[in-house]
Structures are given as C-alpha cells and as structure tokens.
Amino acid sequence: MFKKHQITQTPIPMLPLDELKPGDKATICLIQGTTVEEALLMEMGLLPGTAVELIKRAPLGDPLELRVRRYHLSIRRSEAHAILVKILPDPSTINQ
Amino acid sequence: MSQPIPIEISTQYTDVALIGNPNTGKTSIFNALTGLRQKVGNYPGVTVEKKTGTILGPNGEQIRLHDLPGLYSLTPKSMDEEIAREVLLGDSDQELDIRLIVVVADAANLNRNLYLVTQVIDLGIPIIVALNMMDSAKSEGVDIDVEALSDRLDVPVVPVIASRQYGLDHLHQTMFAQVKAPKTRKEAGTLTLDASVNDPLTPVIDWLGEHTHLTASAQTAEALRVVSSDLALESWRNGHYPEACKNDLEVAIQTTRNHLEEKEIPWRMLEAKLRYEQIDDLYEHTVRENPAAAQNLSIRLDRVFTHRIAGPMIVLALFALIFQTVFSWAEGPMDAIEGGVGAIGEYVVTQMPGGMLQSLIVDGIIAGVGAVLVFLPQILFLFFFLALIEDTGYMARVAFLMDRLMKSLGLSGRSVIPLLSSFACAIPGIMATRTIASWKDRLVTIMIAPLMSCSARLPVYILMIGAFIPDTPVLGVFSMAGVTLLAMYLLGITGAIGAALVFKWFFMPDAPSTTFIMELPPYRRPSLRWVFLQMYERAKVFITDAGQIILAISIVLWFLASYPQSEDYDTTAARDRIQQSYAGQLGHFIEPAIAPLGFDWKLGIGLITSFAAREVLVSTLATIYNVEEADETSVDLRVALQNETDPVTGESVYTPLVAVSLMVFFVFACQCMATVAIVKRETNSWRWPIIMILYMTTMAYVASFVVYQGGRFFGFG
C-alpha cells in the first residue's frame, strides 16, 4: 500500500481506457479515434476531465460497459483504446 | 406505400417537429399525442422512416407532428441524423416549414440530454422541452427544479411521465399556445462565446448569413459546429450550392481554424467542450442529486442479464421460448386464414361459372390475398416479443453480449435480434433491422437474413427427409433424419457468414469500420400500448407495402400455372393442366440447366411455383403426382416420390442424393416473394431485392451442383 504523500507526489500515469479493471474509476485526459468516434464520444459527454467508471466487460472481453454522466454506455475495446485516462486514487487507499 | 408521402402545403396545418435522444420515450409521447392518426413512410430517396401524425387543437386548428429519428446531436454521423438536420435547418429536399420544435429530454439523464436541447434552442425556432420520465428521475434521487431550468433556458419546460399519461394535457396545451403566440427568448442563443472564439468564427458566420435562412443564433452555433468537425462540413458540401460557393465555405473554415490555432484554442470538437462547460454549470444550479437514493435497479439486473455465463444462456433460452410460443400461437390463426381463404374460394366457385375468370379470382386473387394474410400471425406475434424486448431495454443488452461474435463478420451486436428472428420468418426479421443505426450494417443484415432457415423451409425438409432419409441411429442418440435437419440449419448459418463477409469486404470495401458506441438504457417497465401500436404498425406496413407486390406476383404465378388454356379446361385434370401450362413448359425448358443438380422437369415446375413461398413446393408436387389433400407428412406423396421412375431407364428418379440436393437448394434459394417485397420496402429500391435473388439463386445452384455431382463422384445415388 502507498502512503498518502507518495500518491500526491507521484504523477499518475495515463493509460488507455480499455486497460481499466471493472470497478476502476478514472478521469478522461485525451480522446483520439476517428472523426466519427471522436464526435460521437464527445457529444455523448466524454470529454477531457469527465469522470468515467468501467462497469464490466462483455463475455468475450469485448465490448466494455462504462458509466459516465449517470448513464451507461457500451463501447468496443478498440474505441476505448483511443481514450487516455488517469485512474482516480481509490479513496480507501488515500485514507490509510 | 413506399412512395414518399406527398407533402400538401396547407395553411390549416402547422408543422411541428418532435426530436430527442434515443431512449427518451420520444415515440411514446408521439403515440400519446397523435393516437392512431399516424402515417408511416420513408423520407424521399432515403430509407429513413418518416412518421407523421395529426393533433387537433381546442378550436379545430391542427398540428402536423413529425417524429424525427432519435439523435444525440446536430452533427450528422448517420443518415438519420442527416435527415433530422435537414428538416430542422430548413435546408433540405423535405419541404417542411417547422414552426415549433418539441424536444424530449430524459429527466433521469438530463446532463447529456441538455446537449441536444441547447443545440436545438440555438436554432432560434420556438421550442418546448418535454422533460420525460420524471418518475424514474425521482426514484433515482435526481431532483430537478423545473422552474429554474425553464428560467435559465428561457423556454417552456413541461414535466411529463408518458408511460402514465401524466403531463400530456399540459404539453398539448403548451404546444397550441406556442403555435398561436410563439414566445421569444430574451437572448438569441444559449452559447456565450468569448471574443477569442467568436471573432475567428466571423468568416463562417458571414458565409451562413449570406447563403442560408438561418437565424443569427443558428448561424453562430452552426459556424462553431462546422469548425469543430468535418462531419458538419460534409453535409454542406452535399447541399445544393455551386462548387465555388462551397469552396468559399471551406476557405472560411480553414481561416477560422488557423485563427483559433494561433490563439492556442484547439478547434477539434470545440462545440462539445464549450457546450458541456455551460451544461455542467446549468445542471449544477438546477438539479440536486441524492447519492444515497436506492441503488440503480439496472445495475443489479445486469448482474444476471449481462453475466458472462448466464447472459448468453438467457438470450438463447429466451429465443427458444419465443420461437416455441410464436409457432404454437401462430399455428391456429394460420390454419384459420388458410381455411377461411379456401372456403371463400370454394364459395366463389359455387357462385360463378367455371373457366378462366373463376380461376383468376379463386386461384389468382383470393389465393394471393391469402398468401399475404397468412404471414400476419407470425409477424404480429414475433413483433409482440420484439417490441417487449426493445421497450424494456433488454435489446441493447443482447447487442452488448453478442457484439464480439458479430464483429468478426464486420457487423455489430445490433444485428443479432433481426437474424435470430429470421429463424422464425425473415420478414419480421428484416423489418426489425430498423434498430441498426449504420446503414451498411443494416443492409448486410437484410441481405443475409433470408439464409437463416425459416419455418417455411420445414415442410420441404420434412417431406424430403421423410421420404428419402432413413431413420438410422447416428452415434447412438441421434438419428440420420435429425442430423440431416440440423445440417440444413447449420448450412444456412455458414452461408450467411460467408455472404456477410463477401458483402462487407467485396461490395463495400470503403465502408468505415462499424462503431459500436451504444447507450445501455435503464430497464423500464414495458408499455403494452406501445407494444400493440408497434405490432399494428408493422402489420399495416406489411399489408399495404409488401401486400401489393405479393398479390401481383401471385397473379403472375397463377398465369404461368394456368395458361395456355386447353380447350376442354374443365375436364382436364389438374395434373395435366399444370404440365401443359407455361410453368410446365418452363419446367421442361430449364430441365437441362437443373439436370446437373439431379432435378427433373417436374421439380423444375416446383422451383418456379415455389417462388411464391417455399412450402408451395409440397402442394405443387402433390398436384403433379395427383395426390389429393397432401401435406408434407402425407404418406401418399412420399410413396409417389419414392416410386417415380425414369420411363427410359426404369431407374428411380428421386434418390436420397437428389433429396439432399433439393434441400440444399432450398437452404440458399430466395424462394419467397414476401421476402423480396419487404426488402423492396425496407431498402426503398428494387436494386437490393434483385441482387438478393441473384446471389441467393447462384449460391443455391452452386451448392446443389457440388452436392449432387460430388455425391455421384463418391458413388452415392
């Protein structure tokens, strides 16, 4: 387990959204992808700074179910791969 | 009719558009407001469904309400969104003069819904926000200050619970009040733009001001939209403007983007960023969320329904149950329709003199109407279940579970339900493809749906298996007959997979790879009213649009089977009549072509007449072999087929190999005029049904050829 001061000092690395584990909460940093994907995602409210949670993966590992802005969204791994996020520190870890 | 509904320009009507995100209950509101006063057709030249209904006002005035396709924004990403955009921006072939827009928003999901709401407000057309599903919002701990929201947006906001008919009177009144005396907003648009963004937009705003009738706020919003994404530019490029004029727009956009880049403002999707900043602020001031409210029911249900093992098993079990129910429910009504049509035909026979006119009326027209009606029970019952699946929100879960499998065919999870439905009957399956957003995906799904072995193939399989496939045990528990039947189903699926790959990669190599960004809406209690309307609507479309084509083909087939007329028509046996007819002659004519498949001219007649529907093969063979009252389980017909010998060689004409070859032919061949008719209706052209007939017949021919010649080579038959 990290100690509190380590978390605040270590810069949190960015990773593609599809590498989150179910239950992970993260903040979106960057959206790439094709013009259509980019437009669809951003208009559905996935923007830099938006909080997102990975709820689950479909039986064959693809697509993914996300929760964003109080609603649920299904998105393929390839599409999720083009979204870079930072994992929010788990509050229970911070409090230790 | 599949023709576009003519738009009569009339002063009695006010055109009002109804729009909203998908899954907001927009269609429920449309149905509640218009009742059955609806017309369903297609927008001119495209396959987007056009629904229009009439609403009567307190003083006899009328509103013509246009239900636009569900969309997330005015940036066009699909044909649906392009059409909605054309109608709302008034720059279109649609010739509608929209005076009021009712935008439906999901109260439980207001933040994201406000994106479209603010975009629509900025069009500068009078607007009403219908805030639907207030009850769900409340139970999920979302408390909306409707008055504050209305004040801040400066437009009327009407809270509604469409499923319980709550708030609809208020909406109705507000609509007519707004039509009579439109309320203007104090400020033009919802977007407050810094000078750093607004100034660079000037060249694009100027272009829009010069070339369009957009209001000032709409010009600013649209300018921001075309600068933010090339998708909006694409739709202007497709507009009716001279080339030089379009180039001016592109130059203006490039100038704006350069300016923004100089100021280090990223222009990509700038509209989304700016709008959501303002939406988040608005939301914070008008909505309170209580995180302690009851845990989301949908999340708990999905622990089972989208579970990695239970989820797919539930899908399969559910569809097995649906098929079982559809078959057992539809059987009685189908028999009754066939019996009723037969009785009417017999009655007509007793009431009018024999001859060709009687034959035309009884065997051509009445039988043709029967051929249309007999599909209704299956369509109605299947759509009962499909509408339930859609309305509860389960359809999106099926798509979620199955997407990975369909992705390998170049399709998405959205194609699963239409394809599964096609195992019962391809017609409702093809009609169910409307839920597929991507046109390319939808087209491929339509093209392969008839390869799923439908219930009409069963009589052919059962007759052939019963007559020629021995019931010998295979691996102890199975029988040769059962294994053969299963093989036919698997062959159909294999053919569909191959066809999907060929269509996707050969005919549409430039098609963008399918995206699968799909909302998983919360589970909702289904509305039976909506379900029944859905059944009524599909049945109506089938009868009016497909029915005409089916009736016309029936009459052509009747003609082929009845002419040329022999002089002693009434004394000629039915067997001899069909052998002397054009159909009989055609059977002889195609015999050289079908001989390599193992078929003689009698089966040739069957192939021609069974274009009406696959099961007609059985009754045609019964006529040719003079077997009375035969169906697929008739022993007489089986024996007649088994005993048929070649007059020259004395060998059996029908061997088990011929039976297998014939079944394989029926797995692939497009022997169903109702399918052809519905594909014409759903694709709004004859091009795709013709391609379908050609490719399926080719596939059937090649497959039967391989089976028969291969079988002979290896010494079977």
B84-123: per-residue pLDDT in tens?
888 888 765 556 788 999 999 999 999 999 999 999 999 9
- B513-536 residue pLDDT tens: 667 889 999 898 888 888 888 888
For chain B (717 residues), the mean pLDDT of every run of 10, in chain order, is: 47 86 90 82 72 88 91 87 84 74 94 95 94 90 94 94 90 93 80 88 92 89 92 84 87 93 90 94 92 73 93 92 86 89 89 82 84 86 90 92 90 91 90 85 94 88 87 80 89 94 78 79 86 87 84 85 69 74 88 92 89 84 75 80 80 88 95 92 91 95 95 83
3-state helix, strand, coil in chain A (%, to 5): 30, 35, 40
Residue A42 lies in a domain: yes
Q: Which residues of B touch A36 (CB under 8 A)?
A: 77, 231, 512, 515
Between helix B230-237 and helix A35-43 the angle, nearest 10°, is: 110
Q: Which residues of A touch B (CB under 8 A)?
A: 31, 34-45, 47-48, 50, 55-56, 58-63, 65, 69-76, 79
Do B99 and B244 fall into the same domain?
no
- Give the end of a domain, one of B180, B212, B231: B180
Q: Which domain covers residue B280, as residue numbers?
A: 195-289
How far A61 CA lies from chain B's nearest CA (Å)?
Answer: 8
Q: Which residue from B231, B403, B405 is facing A35, i.e. has the nearest CB?
A: B231
The CATH number assigned to the domain holding B208 equals: 1.10.287
Question: What was the pLDDT predicted at B626?
Answer: 74
pLDDT of residue B8: 47
Give the per-residue SS3 of B345-391: HHHHHHHCCCCHHHHHHHHHHHHHHHHHHCCHHHHHHHHHHHHHHHH
Cα angle for residues B326, B327, B329 (degrees, 5° grid)? 65
pLDDT at residue A77, rounded to an integer: 93
Integer Cα distance of B496 and B449 in angstroms: 8
Residue A90's domain spans which residues? 28-94
Domain for residue A6, yes or no? no
Query: Does B444 map to a domain?
Result: no
Total of domains in chain A: 1
- Residue A9 has what pLDDT? 54
The per-residue pLDDT for B492 is 94
- Taking alpha carbons only, the member of B262, B269, B201, B278 closest to residue B232 is B269
- Which pLDDT belongs to residue B10? 46
Q: Which residue of chain B comes nearest to A78, CA vs CA?
A: B515
* Cross-sheet strand order for the sheet of B157-159: B38-42, B49-56, B62-67, B13-20, B98-106, B127-132, B157-159
Chain B residues whose beta carbon lies within 8 Å of the beta carbon of residue A59: 308-309, 311-312, 401, 404
CATH number of the domain at B80, please.
3.40.50.300
Q: For residue B143, report the phi and psi dihedrals to the nearest 5 degrees.
A: -110, 110
- Final residue in a domain of this structure, among B118, B151, B180: B180
Note the pLDDT tens digit of each residue in A1-48. Answer: 444 454 455 677 899 999 999 999 999 999 987 888 888 899 999 999
- Tell me how far the alpha carbon of residue A44 is from its chain's centroid: 15
Whether B306 sits inside 8 A of A47 (CB atoms) is: no
Confidence band of A71 (pLDDT split at 50, 70, 90): very high
Residue A1 pLDDT: 44
Flag if A35 and B109 touch (Cβ within 8 Å): no
Distances (CA, A) of B238 to A49, B76, B235: 35, 12, 5
Distances (CA, A) of B458 to B63, B94, B463, B656, B699: 49, 45, 8, 17, 20
B562 lies in the same domain as B704:
yes
Based on the structure, what is the number of domains in chain B? Answer: 3
**A4 within domain boundaries:** no
CATH of the domain at A46: 2.30.30.90
DSSP B457: G
Q: Which of B118, B404, B523 to mutate to test the interface with A (most CBs of A within 10 A)?
A: B404
Evaluate whether residue A74 is within a structural domain: yes
ipTM (interface predicted TM): 0.87
